[in-house]
Amino acid sequence: MSGKNSRRFLGIVLVAVLCGLAAGVLGEIVTRVYLLKDFSLPYLTSEVNLTDLNGSRSNLIIRDAKKVVVNQDVKVSETLNSLRPSLVGIFKTLSSKTPADKLAPDYYKLDEPLLVGLIITSDGWAVASLPPDKQKDFNSKNYVAIGSDRKVYSLDKIEILQDNPGDLVIFHLVGATNFTVKKIVPRTDLSVGLSLLAINGLNEARPLNISFFMKTPAILNSETINARLGLSGDLSDLKNTFVFNLAGDLVAFIDSSREIVPAFSYNSVWQNILKQKPLSRPYLGVNYLDLSNAKLLTNTLDKGALLYQTAASPAVIKNSPAALAGLKAGDIISWVDNQEIKATSDLADIIANYNSGDTVTITYFRDGQEREVELKLGALPQNK
């Protein structure tokens, strides 16, 4: 084949390839517009907006997409809808008998409950953050719960967790079965910047974010719920409410003084309910300084719980499990079983994951030497 004929042949092949590519692109555009009713321009964007999908497209496959955009209002709505089966409204009990001088019977206005409760077991145990003015008369005769199925439940058991942050009350719905239960978010899944949702009533949700973690006071107690969250967003009227992540899992309670208490702090309470045990909390009995938040001149460790004595309180409480095991002021607890005490896992938060009666191995330093002791956690005395 001559050079002239070769160039002519290559030109024909090139034109054929370009025409084939153009036909393929045109064919895809025609298919999208006329068959899939999709008017977006392929190849010109790397973003996929899930809210733009229509019913004619039953499946979505994303391969190496650079961005997937989901509108926040859609996600908030989805989370709220997923939470409703686990929420109950708490109302003052109304009599089924209507006085003769009334023209219409009493009724429960479902969108205006006095409190909102969260189901924590499938058989009807629920928790709510209770304002102080309702703690005196909150009993099984005065209140009922109404679920998303509009069924009215009477209450038969009520436990108010006294002297604890969160203003929590736990109660049981008579005859409840097969409720949807939400998970408790562990400490390891919480991070600064995490998107959250505060539920302020049955139909109001407010987006928030974790802005910081904090512990208070400086000298901590092994039985005190120390962990607190800082949230960014409008908290002006958020009291006695729940906070969830966008997957619908419980993150925290906001009490009447707007303290934000992580739900994992009450792990021992949730476990006791599931096991149908008394609502006692585990008891170690020490006061300590968190070395991840303090620097001692006489100590090189940057984490652990230093058993610390002050004029107001001893380092180790008399007759406590810690005292009976031989722990004393100046000891530095570094591990509880296989859990290290550090900035993200405080001693009190770790102890809260156990039940009274559990046996644990405490690893600690004394005079620069690492030691171990095994002890059985007690039940927190009621007068503490």
Band the pLDDT of 52: cuts 50, 70, 90.
Answer: very low
Are 55 and 84 within one domain? no
Are 36 and 124 within one domain? no
Are 85 and 66 within one domain? no
Are 166 and 246 within one domain? no
Nearest to 241 by CA among 115, 107, 90: 115
* Matching residue, tokens 């005190």: 224
Domain final position from 124, 145, 173: 173
**Whether pLDDT at 36 is above 70:** no
Number of domains in the chain: 4
Q: b/e map of 238-255 (b: 16 or more CB within 10 Å)?
A: bebbbbbbbebbbbbbbb
Assigned domain for 206 exists:
yes
pLDDT at 118: 93
Nearest to 248 by CA among 42, 82, 100: 82
pLDDT at 158: 85
Are 303 and 358 within one domain? yes
Assigned domain for 178 exists:
no
CATH code of 337's domain: 2.30.42.10
Are 66 and 93 within one domain? no
9 vs 168, more confident:
168
Band the pLDDT of 195: cuts 50, 70, 90.
Answer: very high
Q: What angle do CA 139, 141, 142 make, to 5 degrees?
A: 70
Domain final position from 274, 309, 342: 274
Segment 352-361, tens digit of pLDDT = 888 889 999 9
Domain final position from 274, 306, 323: 274
Q: What is the mean pLDDT of residues 216-243?
A: 85
Assigned domain for 286 exists:
yes
Are 205 and 246 within one domain? yes
Are 61 and 91 within one domain? no
CATH code of 191's domain: 2.40.10.10
Are 153 and 193 within one domain? no
Rounded to an integer, what is the distance from CA 151 to the centroid of its chain? 27
Structural domain span for residue 25: 3-70
Segment 139-155, tens digit of pLDDT = 888 899 999 889 999 99
**Whether pLDDT at 87 is above 90:** yes
Are 143 and 215 within one domain? no
355 vs 301, more confident:
355
Query: Which sign does the torsion angle of CA 157, 160, 166, 167 carry?
Result: positive
**Whether pLDDT at 58 is above 70:** no
**Whether pLDDT at 382 is above 70:** no
Query: Which sign does the torsion angle of CA 273, 277, 278, 281 carry?
Result: negative
Please tell me the least confidently modeled range out of 30-39, 156-165, 309-318, 367-376: 30-39
**Whether pLDDT at 383 is above 90:** no
pLDDT at 384: 41
Assigned domain for 15 exists:
yes
Quote the CA–CA distance of 93 and 131 in Å, as a whole number: 18
**Whether pLDDT at 51 is above 50:** no
**Whether pLDDT at 294 is above 80:** no
**Whether pLDDT at 250 is above 90:** yes
Band the pLDDT of 337: cuts 50, 70, 90.
Answer: very high
Assigned domain for 126 exists:
yes
Q: What angle do CA 315, 265, 220 make, to 5 degrees?
A: 20
Are 313 and 240 within one domain? no
Assigned domain for 55 exists:
yes
Cα torsion at 17, 19, 23, 24 (round to 10°)?
Answer: 20
**Whether pLDDT at 98 is above 60:** no
Assigned domain for 167 exists:
yes
Q: Is 112 exposed, middle or buried (0-12, 13-18, 19+ CB in 10 A)?
A: exposed
Are 47 and 63 within one domain? yes
Assigned domain for 244 exists:
yes
**DSSP for residue 149:** T
Q: What is the mean pLDDT of residues 280-297?
A: 85
Segment 159-181, tens digit of pLDDT = 877 667 778 889 999 999 889 89
